[in-house]
Structure 1
Amino acid sequence: MSNPAADSMETGAMLKAAVKCHQDGKLSEADRSYSAILEEEPDHADAWHLKGLIAYQSGRFEDAVRLIQRAIAVNPGSPEFHNSLGAVQEALGDTVSSIRSYVKAIENRPDFRDAYVNLARLRPDVAEIRFNLACILHRQGNNGSAIEHYRAAVRLEPENVIALNNLGLTLQEMGKIREAGHCYIRAVNLSPDFSEARYNLGRMYQLQGDSENAIEEYRRAIRTARGSSSRIFYNWALALQELGQYDDAIQRYADAVHGDPGYAEARVNRSLLLLLTGRFREAWPEYEWRQRRSDWLSANPVYPDLPSWDGSPLPGKCILVQAEQGFGDTIQFVRYLSLVKNRCGRVILEAPPVLHPLLKSLSAMDEMAAPAPENAQRADAGVHLLSLPGIFQTTVETIPMAVPYLHAPAEKTGKWHSRISENGFNIGVVWSGNPAHPENSMRSCDPGHFVSLLSLPSVNLYSLQKGPAADRLRETPGFAGIVDLGPELHDFSDTAAVIMNLDLVISVDTALVHLAGALGKPVWTLRYHQPYWVWGTTGETSAWYPSMRIFRQHRPGDWETVFRWVQHQLKEDVLS
């Protein structure tokens, strides 16, 4: 008695071997193998189809038609079979039948690119074919070819606003912003109520830094939008935010959330604006939505079996506090560990190892560990570090201000004492942060700006710069006047020890300013033009660090004015 399962496995092995011969160009051997399969299984559609392809490759087109039609009779729903039949019919010069076969292939699989390519070759004058092929190519990431066929579709149907809009999108993805804008403008001129094109035109203006025109297009898009308008409201809010219209931006984010309650990006952005405008209590619940964003989830370990801590007292129990986001965020918010410790018996801090030598000075921490699932097994509850301000209902007035709350190792501090000049005013400088930060190019400045401070009497400069940006110092005229300590700083505790021997730190907005602030040392933070909730929108003082002074850019990229003010303040307040 035959075993159907075993027979099927044997046939599969035979087919695989036959296909290998076919791919290796051993057509006769492959053809015999396909025939052997058909003797065992007369309705084996793939074998009929592959025999047909061999006939096609051998120039036996009539035989190929017959064989592929046998395959289609067994499996009429296969788009590949109909596409192959179309190719054979095209080789026979039967264009009408070939087109019919390609159409049938597309009916069976509407996104079948190969059939559309073949059809477009035969009927290049049909706009619908060119448009559909362009859409498929666009979805598959083949933007160059997609643009070619979108252009053809628009040429054949100049009033096809959907093709114009899609052409604009594809051009925009390739960085051709101006050309994309022409497409969107043509589309909205032809169809003023075409909300999608209005939205894309707004996005184009926004990418060009023209927030006012972007907002106007978003307004028009909302009036005619069908279905959810959340993404329009979201980008409208971003444009308002660029213009500093924070209250209106907060409302637009709320509109986005109203249309899509699960819109995590809108909720988080709204929370950051609420924080920026001092509405802390309203902001913290929304800020928790950061943990639903894909970028947060990919960067931060989550232990689903560990109960979340909500701030309730857990006497004698252990709470795992997980650091998150950047080094500066961790340094800023570990101040909350003393509050956590007051409500439990034991605190484990999970943080990147590079921070451990510095953070071990925290008195409220019982144990420190690198991120690992095993940490959760030793805890009764867990919480992420930046959830703590919300748990403790922090307002601007109740920020924990027990500064310093971090301390440099005494041994390292003593070692560096002999390396820092005893004469003059000693300043540590940093001009760039983590190059992986999305805004690092905006927040960084040229080290030459610091060299200009050497013209002041009695000023000694020490570079604390780490990473690739440190090499820029040696490319800067006059750099020899700055002592480069960067190569000797192996972790944050080394940097902390140096800072304790300095009179002042001047740095762009990086983790270093948080470190100096947490140590209670004077620090001047050079903030680029975009406001950030931690530093507020105006003023020179920080609600988080009493020893900090903030110098703000008022125009994008204008570090010259910032450093003129720094130089003036050094003369007036420090060196006079």
Structure 2
Amino acid sequence: MEQPSHVDNARTDSPPSHLAALIDAALAAHRTGQPRAAESLYRQALALDPANPRALHYFGVLHYQRGDHETAARLMSEALRLDRNDAACWSNRGLVAAALGHADEALICYNEALQRQPDFADAHNNRGVTLQAQGAFGEAIEHYRQALASNPAMVDVHLNLGTALAKLERFDEALACYRLALALDPQSAQAHFNAGNAHNALGRHEAAIASFERALALRVDYVEAHINLGSLIGKRGDYAGAEAHYRRAVALKPNPTHLVCLGGSLGAQGRLDEEEVSYRRALALDPDYADAHQNLAWLLLKRGDYKQGWAAFARRWRQSDYDALAIPGVAEWRGEPLAGRRLLVVGEQGFGDHFQFLRFARVLERLGATVDLRVREPLLPLVERIPGVRRAFSGQPDSHYDFWVPMMSVPSCVGTVLSTLPAEVPYLFAKPEKIDAWRKRMGAASQTQRRVGLVWAGSPTFGNDRYRSVTLTELRRLGDLDNVAWYALQKGSAHAQLAEAPTAFRAHDFTAELASFEDTAALIMNLDLVIAVDTGVAHLAGALGKPVWLLLPANSDWRWLETRSDSPWYPRMTLFRQTTLGDWTPVVEQVSEALRNGHH
């Protein structure tokens, strides 16, 4: 907020020198952090001249800084009634309007300031902040640039410009702004924090960590820096380090978001009891906090408590996520009788989630519903052949429905528990002609060997991918088995590992010909076994009724429960679990031994 560096001559009926001295003293006390003394002096000045615009203006500034925005607005409005040419007062009155939530009034005030002083840097900055809050990032950027043209030494404006550019995903430009801010003020914790966010967005994780750490060195109670650093190092697999930062954030600001972050880091370390405490603390603070309900649901489901788990899962929705999925004008199904009703099941989350939950179409049909599916485009036409499905499509529905339901909410609506989990497989079916085409494509090669499909990595953007995925180097021992013919099913960036892999892993690589899940399903049907980490292909193979050996990290997903070596979801699946997070050696030894002995 603009404050003057000198005292203008003021009209008054009292002795000018005494009034000027009072205002000088008030401003000096105000600038040096003595608000009580400043208030007393402002009151004395206004007692001498109640119509002194400068005293009214800066007494209003004092009230603004104390959070009394209504009084600040009244005082500054009176000052402007007396002197409409004070650009600083117009700018400050805009700040007060913005604080009161009156954005349009704030913009008018900034315009008035800039009409009187076109190069007024503070007014340009303040107008930029208000425009940015309204999502007008381009206009905001222009005003920030004009502010810096007038005064390039304004650190806050460099930061604001960087933030607006980051909102437009222009992260390199944003980073340049933060570097300019740091050149002016190397001790700016906020500039280091913002730079960390930009580095992270650009994938420069080491630089991001260094920036967050520098921000915390300058401001140990910087809550947002603790959270962002914890999130970043947690994604890199340092869950204990993430926990330490989340605990600090919770100690400083125990809100639901921070408690959920802490719970997630505890769960990733297998400390489920402590994890549950964090989520329940979050829900005590906000009973409707969606992320806490979702994470608590995953925890309960992992323990096998499906009754409570599905109930909690039904409350998982952030409003924006729900609105993106909901079907306008159609009631959400919550367990009402379905006989003779048309029900649209709407897919959600990843491909693996789709493959896992599509089994419930048959359950819904048996309850009397006519079932249609809305799913992601890559799943078509494979899912059209699911028993119980009348029609499957992507995009917007063009038919009438009595109800719609999110696919992963069906278990809660039908009261699914472990003992009633529908595990009849297969419920996905590859096209017979494609199966035959792959059989011919594969030919007579490896007829004397066990044909095993292999997927060793999931999406690198997944939060736990560091521990979920394995490298071909770690699986190298499996390549020495003479009784196995390996078929690569790996897509994505991890496929490049084949170039340096043992010859056995490279011998049958048809991934370039797998253009769809339809193709992958047909190839899988020609295999004896699929060995995979926790990815969509594992679910696909399980839904096709093929034998699957699933390699799981110690902090495995909720759907695989805690200690079982089998899966109630897929009767032909065997689980091979880590006992120590990050150590795949015992798992590979178990798999190698099982393959050598011909286990199924």
Q: Settle same-fold status: TM greater than 0.5.
A: yes
Q: Which amino acid aligns with 2:352?
A: G
- Partner residue of 2:260? 234
User: What's the CA shift for 1:386?
Assistant: 0.9
User: What's the CA shift for 1:521?
Assistant: 2.1
Matches of 1:114 and 1:208, distance apart in 2: 35
Given candidates 462, 470, 489, the residue that maps to 2:487 is: 462
Preserved CA contact (<8 Å) 1:504 1:523: yes
Matches of 1:254 and 1:529, distance apart in 2: 24
Unmatched 5+ stretches in structure 1: 1-68, 87-100, 156-162, 189-193
- Partner residue of 1:379? 401
Change (3 A) 1:537 1:136: same
- Partner residue of 1:347? 371
Question: Secondary structure at 1:374's aligned position in 2?
Answer: coil
Preserved CA contact (<8 Å) 1:237 1:253: yes
Matches of 1:459 and 1:108, distance apart in 2: 68
| 1:402-434 CA-partner distances (Å, limit 9, x unpaired) | 233333444444454453543222212223345
Given candidates 259, 270, 273, the residue that maps to 1:244 is: 270
Q: Which amino acid aligns with 1:303?
A: I
Matches of 2:459 and 2:469, distance apart in 1: 10
Is 1:482 equivalent to 2:482 in the alignment? no
TM-score where L is the length of structure 2: 0.67
Identity of aligned pairs, percent?
Answer: 30
Change (3 A) 1:369 1:183: closer
Write out aligned runs for 1:320-399 (5 A): 320-365=344-389, 367-375=390-398, 377-399=399-421
Between the two proteins, the alignment pairs up a number of residues equal to 465
Preserved CA contact (<8 Å) 1:246 1:273: yes
User: What's the CA shift for 1:533?
Assistant: 0.6
Change (3 A) 1:120 1:448: same
User: What's the CA shift for 1:359?
Assistant: 3.0
What's the RMSD between the two structures over aligned residues? 3.7
Matches of 2:396 and 2:335, distance apart in 1: 22
Given candidates 314, 317, 320, the residue that maps to 2:338 is: 314
Question: Secondary structure at 1:133's aligned position in 2?
Answer: helix
The answer to which of 102-111 and 377-386 deviates more is 102-111
- Partner residue of 1:81? 115
User: What's the CA shift for 1:389?
Assistant: 1.0
Preserved CA contact (<8 Å) 2:346 2:373: yes
- Partner residue of 2:148? 117
User: What's the CA shift for 1:548?
Assistant: 0.8
Matches of 1:330 and 1:507, distance apart in 2: 17
User: What's the CA shift for 1:479?
Assistant: 5.1
Matches of 1:288 and 1:215, distance apart in 2: 27
Given candidates 212, 220, 223, the residue that maps to 1:180 is: 212
Change (3 A) 1:386 1:224: closer
- Partner residue of 2:289? 263
User: What's the CA shift for 1:390?
Assistant: 1.0
Question: Secondary structure at 2:358's aligned position in 1?
Answer: helix
Matches of 1:368 and 1:293, distance apart in 2: 28
Write out aligned runs for 1:208-227 (5 A): 208-209=233-234, 211-212=239-240, 215=243, 218-219=246-247, 221-225=249-253
Q: Which amino acid aligns with 2:215?
A: C
Matches of 2:473 and 2:417, distance apart in 1: 39
User: What's the CA shift for 1:560?
Assistant: 4.3
Question: Secondary structure at 2:261's aligned position in 1?
Answer: helix
Matches of 1:315 and 1:286, distance apart in 2: 27
| 1:199-255 CA-partner distances (Å, limit 9, x unpaired) | 633653553355546545555554554xx7222222222222232222222221232
Question: Secondary structure at 1:314's aligned position in 2?
Answer: coil
Change (3 A) 1:381 1:414: same
User: What's the CA shift for 1:166?
Assistant: 5.7
Question: Secondary structure at 2:485's aligned position in 1?
Answer: strand
- Partner residue of 1:29? none
- Partner residue of 1:253? 279
Matches of 2:274 and 2:147, distance apart in 1: 47
Matches of 1:103 and 1:408, distance apart in 2: 66
Matches of 1:80 and 1:522, distance apart in 2: 72
Matches of 2:517 and 2:375, distance apart in 1: 13
- Partner residue of 1:37? none
TM-score where L is the length of structure 1: 0.69
Unmatched 5+ stretches in structure 2: 1-84, 91-107, 131-142, 167-173, 200-206
Q: Which amino acid aligns with 2:115?
A: F
